[in-house]
Structure 1
Amino acid sequence: MNFKRDLKALLFVFSLFLLIAMGVNANASVKTYHQKGYALKGGYATHFVNNGNYAYIPKYNYGSSAGYYESATYQSNPYTMFAKGGNFRRNARTSFYLPVSYNWSGDLGNPQSVAISKSGQYAYVMYPDAKTTIVRYDLWKLHSLGVDTNNMAALRMGVRNRDPQIMSAIKFGPKFDAGHGQSLALNPKTNMLWYVKMDVVTTTPTLVEVSPTTLKPVKQIKFKFSRSYSINNELAIDNNGNFYTYVKYRMQGKSAGRIVIFKGQVKNNHVTFRAIKQGLANGQGFQTQGMGYNPASNRLYLVSDGVISSVPVNKLNKLRPRDVRTTKFKTNLEFEGVAFNQAGLGYILTIRGSQLFTINNF
């Protein structure tokens, strides 16, 4: 028996487990506020705008973007999602094929949400099941390195080969508990990131603030949403720092499901929400996949697979049918979120494989 060798091995294993534990619990030492009472102060939606039922998709079998499997993930040509329905038709085109693998095969293949910095320089993508929870992509630097529609495989290949220039445009944050990870959003008023730590549906969520620089949580607020009202894992924040989330009720007859939007605030580490009294009679798609806010148009975006609806913030509670814009795309990709820069350029996140589409005048 070699005592020194065995001791070194034991210390190595202990250190490894310690590092893993520290990574998984990166938000364990974050300041936590336990809110008393219920956050929901104002009731339920009492009436619904009868927006056109453009969005109902009775069956949606997930597929992949063109060339994803054929090229062994190293796609070289942009993919276009054409609008095929709705009252507001816009096409979207691939801008970046994001990495699919980093530490092991497919570990970055299932991002759940995206936020964009106001300038449009950075994309923050949340990976709840990966070794790094948030990855920040410097889109400007990637463009300067030639990662564009003429060289679309460069980002994935650069990460695979650990190319120093490509890697310098990517910041990998620590591991922490993101829950389902579907709600990463930027607060335009403070430039801080927020998400709701929860699974898909809950009455007891945790609102977490994250530094866009360190990509680490800085504080979290644990609260009870309502005695009987659950929320989904959606979040958007407007120019004034108001928080929004929504609930979609399942299909009834020909309706794709009603939507109730909630507007809230965080003040003195205390969360409050009130229901917008006017909901949407026809929610988008089938499964909710995220929420976004466009600072340029002051609109909220409700994301589902293959279809996105939006409403103007300044007309909430007094929406007319034509105020609700819906775009239905000709695709079977799984949508994971939408985000906008200050100028209004939109980015749609999808998977199989992970990619960012850009969409204009949306």
Structure 2
Amino acid sequence: MNQTTLKPDAAVNFTLKSTLHMGSVLVFDNAGYAYYWTKTVSPWKTAPRDSAKIYRGILSTKQVHFELVMQGLRYAPGSVVQSMAYNAQNKRLYLVASGSIFSVPTNKLGHLKPGDVGLSNFNGHREFEGLTFSHRDGHGFVLTNRGPELMQFN
């Protein structure tokens, strides 16, 4: 994206396999990898129903390639997939769902241990719609619904 005009420098059109559902939010880490996550609807032996699957890939004007990280989370956060975020300060991916946020370190994807997974479950009747982090200081901002509000946390 051109920082002066805020217009795209290039566009990439692509489709994934018909058996692969893509999440609605892509995030990018410092190394340029793109990530999205989905909740398992059609289970198989190593991916039970309602588990979280994380995909990592590369996007360029020449190619698009995503792969399933061969380790997911047995229990996905919340009931509805809402968003995903990346915090450049702590190098963690955040999986956002209605009322829950899970986080995992990008450098341990595929080799996660239970202690690597951060989780926050919130009691309340608000939905988390999005999460983003300031590149400068790592402060987080959560956009909520049902009482629309933008909340900041450290």
TM-score tier, shorter chain, comes to 0.7 to 0.9
Q: Deviations over 1:185-218 (max 9, x none)?
A: xxxxxxxxxxxxxxxxxxxxxxxxx445434334
State the partner residue of 2:69: 276
State the partner residue of 1:263: 56
Q: Which structure has the highest helix share of the two?
A: 1
2:115 is paired with a residue whose SS is helix
Q: 1:273 to 1:330 in 2, by over 3 A?
A: same
Q: Matches of 1:347 and 1:251 in 2, distance apart?
A: 33
TM (normalized to structure 2)? 0.86
State the partner residue of 2:37: 246
- Residue 290, structure 1, aligned to residue 83, structure 2: yes
Cα offset for 1:355?
2.1
Q: Matches of 2:49 and 2:4 in 1, distance apart?
A: 40
* Structure whose alpha-carbon radius of gyration is higher: 1
Identity of aligned residues (%): 37
State the partner residue of 1:345: 139
State the partner residue of 2:149: 355
Structure 2: unaligned runs, 5 residues or longer: none
2:14 is paired with a residue whose SS is strand
Q: Matched residue pairs, number?
A: 149
Q: Deviations over 1:123-171 (max 9, x none)?
A: xxxxxxxxxxxxxxxxxxxxxxxxxxxxxxxxxxxxxxxxxxxxxxxxx
Q: Deviations over 1:43-63 (max 9, x none)?
A: xxxxxxxxxxxxxxxxxxxxx
Report the RMSD for the aligned CA atoms in angstroms.
Answer: 2.1
Q: Matches of 2:82 and 2:114 in 1, distance apart?
A: 23
**Which structure is higher in RCO with an 8 Å CA cutoff and minimum separation 6?**
1
| 1:256–1:285 Cα contact (<8 Å) kept | no
Map 1:10-89; keep pairs closer than 5 Å. Answer: none
| 2:93–2:103 Cα contact (<8 Å) kept | yes
Deviation above 3 Å: which 4+ runs of structure 1?
A: 210-218
Map 1:1-362; keep pairs closer than 5 Å. Answer: 210-250=1-41, 257-342=50-135, 343-360=137-154
Structure 1: unaligned runs, 5 residues or longer: 1-209
TM (normalized to structure 1)? 0.39
